[in-house]
Amino acid sequence: MPVQAVAIVVYEGVQALDVAGPMDVFSEANTFVDSADRYETVLVAAHRNPLRASNGIQIMADRTFDEAAGGFDIILVAGAPTPPEMEPEACLVRWVKELPWRSSVYGSICTGAFVLGYAGLLDDRRVTTHWQDAQALAARFPKAKVEPDLIYVRDGRLITAAGVTAGIDLGLALVGQRHGAETALKIAKRLIVVAQRQGGQSQFSPYLTAPADPGAPIARVQDHVMANIRDRHTLESLAAAVGMSPRNLARHFVQAAGITPHEFTERARVDAARMMLEGSDRPLKAVAFDCGFGSVDRMRIVFSTRLGVTPIQYRASFRRSDQIPESSDEKSLRSGREGSDWHLSGNDARLS
């Protein structure tokens, strides 16, 4: 395999870890691959003058946009702690707009997705960014199919990551695709990171946001759902709990929360199940019942659809196998339907 040319786009105020994370992955990869297969990473910016990252360190580009005409295998636009309030400088947008012609794989880390959006590269594409900025990304670029809770998303040649440490996951995924999972695992061990979070896995961040007024009917509905997570909830029952008509509740809930009551309830169940799976060895049946899924099958379908991983895989990413013995239902699922009925690949889960 030939040398892989990688470019990372930087600018004033960039988040240092968005730059250093992927760079360290590619650098560590060079210790495990033949020299002819190594990664050569350069920083690209509008100029070669020192740039101040958001944490105060200085970064200098290896090439200017004019000097970096193309011929890269991978180009990633690093992000900043907050999205740009307006369209970035014209030379940056103009150069990024040509990423599909400049590289084989292109994408972004964190709020770098906003730069891709201004360059018109997100239309009708599945993308992600930091969970705090996902709603703003979707509002600013309504044609983008924003996945607000995934670590990284690959849509053809476009790959986007949630940001900060998720840039490391993105780098590991790219190295693993080229050199195999064993090499990616060795790199992850060197970097002392979880090896390896799947793209469809959750960002493990607070998924639910409360309205500005905690006494508002919508906030009371959310509190009611989370306090009674194992119960069955319908639009009618939730409306009755706060003294509203189902139609008014549905309309006001979407206006205040940006999602439907049903969507909120399912997200709340997933959050509750995550915490149980991360912090206990309770059997899957008990977790499914206590979180309102009703059955392990239903919980597995929801997890696979929303997170791209099954409950067993989610728990395994937090727990060492020598810490907690498999429960009987986990063993049966692993040897039965889990192993034969489901095909999991990257951020996609579907019945095979």
Is residue 211 one of the residues assigned to a domain? no
Most confident of 11-25, 139-153, 218-232: 11-25
**The pLDDT value given to residue 165:** 81
pLDDT, one tens digit per residue, over 38-75 is 999 999 999 999 999 999 999 999 999 999 987 899 99
Q: Are residues 280 and 153 in the same domain?
A: no
Q: Are 50 and 17 in contact (CB under 8 A)?
A: no
* Tokens 């969507």 found at: 263
pLDDT, one tens digit per residue, over 122-133 is 999 999 999 889
CATH classification of the domain holding 291: 1.10.10.60
Q: Are residues 97 and 179 in the same domain?
A: yes
pLDDT, one tens digit per residue, over 88-120 is 999 999 999 999 999 999 999 999 999 999 999
Q: How many CB atoms lie within 10 A of CB 262?
A: 14
Find the helix packing angle between 16-29 and 181-191, rounded to 10°: 120
**The pLDDT value given to residue 166:** 85
Q: Are residues 127 and 227 in the same domain?
A: no
Residues 95/89/134/171 CA torsion (nearest 10 deg): 40
SS3 289: helix
Q: Are residues 138 and 55 in the same domain?
A: yes
**The pLDDT value given to residue 340:** 32
Is residue 275 one of the residues assigned to a domain? yes
Q: Quick one: average pLDDT of 144-162?
A: 89
CATH classification of the domain holding 147: 3.40.50.880
Q: Are residues 173 and 32 in the same domain?
A: yes
Find the helix packing angle between 246-257 and 261-279, rounded to 10°: 60
Is residue 206 one of the residues assigned to a domain? no
pLDDT higher at 150 or 310: 310
pLDDT higher at 293 or 330: 293
Q: Quick one: average pLDDT of 233-246?
A: 94
The whole-angstrom separation of Cα 281 and Cα 203 is 22
Is residue 203 one of the residues assigned to a domain? no
156 is in which domain, residue-wise? Answer: 4-191
Q: Are residues 101 and 243 in the same domain?
A: no
Is residue 31 one of the residues assigned to a domain? yes
Token pair for residue 117?
A: 């959006």
Q: Are residues 233 and 184 in the same domain?
A: no
Q: Are residues 169 and 249 in the same domain?
A: no
Is residue 90 one of the residues assigned to a domain? yes
Q: Are residues 172 and 255 in the same domain?
A: no
Q: Are residues 50 and 181 in the same domain?
A: yes
How many domains is the chain partitioned into structurally?
2
Is residue 318 one of the residues assigned to a domain? yes
**The pLDDT value given to residue 196:** 47
pLDDT, one tens digit per residue, over 275-321 is 888 778 889 999 999 999 999 999 999 998 887 789 998 888 655 43
**The pLDDT value given to residue 257:** 79
pLDDT, one tens digit per residue, over 19-40 is 999 999 999 999 999 988 999 9
> Is residue 104 within a helix (H) or strand (E), and if so which, with residue range?
strand 103-109
Q: Are residues 115 and 251 in the same domain?
A: no
Q: Are 43 and 11 in contact (CB under 8 A)?
A: no
pLDDT, one tens digit per residue, over 258-280 is 789 998 899 889 888 988 887 78
For residue 109, give every residue at least 6 positions away whose Cβ sits within 8 Å of its Cβ, in sequence order, or none: 18, 21, 22, 76, 77, 78, 79, 160, 161, 163, 166, 167, 170
Q: Are residues 222 and 298 in the same domain?
A: yes
Is residue 92 one of the residues assigned to a domain? yes
pLDDT, one tens digit per residue, over 182-239 is 888 788 888 877 544 554 444 543 344 555 566 788 888 988 998 899 999 999 999 9
**The pLDDT value given to residue 210:** 53
